[in-house]
Amino acid sequence: MTLAYPPQPDRDSAPWWARAGRREFAVQECDSCGTLRFPPRAFCAACRREAWHWRRIAPEGTVESWIVNHQPFVPGRRDPYLVVMARLTAVPGCLVHGNWRAARPPKHLEPVVAVFTEVEAEVTLVDWTPADV
Ligand SMILES: [Zn+2]
């Protein structure tokens, strides 16, 4: 089994990781029909065109769901940790998962904002925290 850590950027996701390193939150926008999308992929699911660019959006969403992960995927991290799936406010069809960065558990549909966590050189994760903190 290949572990997903550290992230292995590919042709489509490399710009996402580079932007995360610069603390920028962006999704792809189709040059043809304007559909915003995440996760990154080579073509638009709405019109099948391959031309796109990155568009910065507000790093805001609401908690859609979460899990407590007990599998130690991340080196040096053995304690269970909470992973949130956030629905983006600017793009309701997009869900972005990330570690939960608050002392209390999340609440369903509560507003959240993205935070950037540099875990090592060249690896910055997009995590989530309550918007009211
Ligand atoms: Zn399109």
Contact 40, 16 (CB under 8 A): yes
User: Is 48 contained in some domain?
Assistant: yes
Can you give the pLDDT at residue 4? 60
**Domain-located, residue 72:** yes
What pLDDT score was predicted for residue 1?
Answer: 44
* Model confidence band, residue 5 (pLDDT cutoffs 50, 70, 90): low
Query: Are 118 and 107 in a shared domain?
Result: yes
Ligand 1 centroid vs 50 CA: distance in angstroms? 8
Residue 17 pLDDT greater than 70, yes or no: yes
Q: What is the pTM of this model?
A: 0.88
Distance (Å) from CA 14 to ligand 1 centroid: 21
Q: Is residue 41 part of a domain?
A: yes
Q: Does residue 129 belong to any structural domain of this protein? A: yes
Cα of 91 vs centre of ligand 1, distance in Å, is 14
Residue 101 CA: distances (Å) to CA of 67, 73, 79, 85, 104: 13, 17, 14, 13, 9
pLDDT for position 123: 86
pLDDT by residue (tens digit) across 76-122?
667 888 999 999 999 999 999 999 999 999 999 999 999 999 988 88
- pLDDT band for 72, please (50, 70, 90 cuts): confident
Co-location of 19 and 75 in the same domain: no
Same domain for 113 and 125?
Answer: yes
Looking at the domain assignment, is residue 117 inside a domain?
yes
Q: What is the total count of domains within the chain?
A: 2
Contacts of 17 (CB under 8 A, 6+ apart): 7, 9, 123, 124
Percent of the chain at pLDDT > 90 equals: 77
CA of 37 to the centre of ligand 1 (A): 9
pLDDT score of 133: 75
**Does one domain contain both 89 and 52?**
no
Q: How far is the CA of 116 from the centre of ligand 1 (A)?
A: 29
Q: Are 86 and 38 in the same domain?
A: no
User: Which of 37, 57, 77 is at the close of a domain?
Assistant: 57
Range of the domain at 78: 59-133
User: Which pLDDT score is estimated for 75?
Assistant: 66
The CA distance from 131 to 8, in Å, is 29
Each residue's pLDDT tens digit, 19-53: 999 999 999 999 999 999 999 999 999 999 999 99
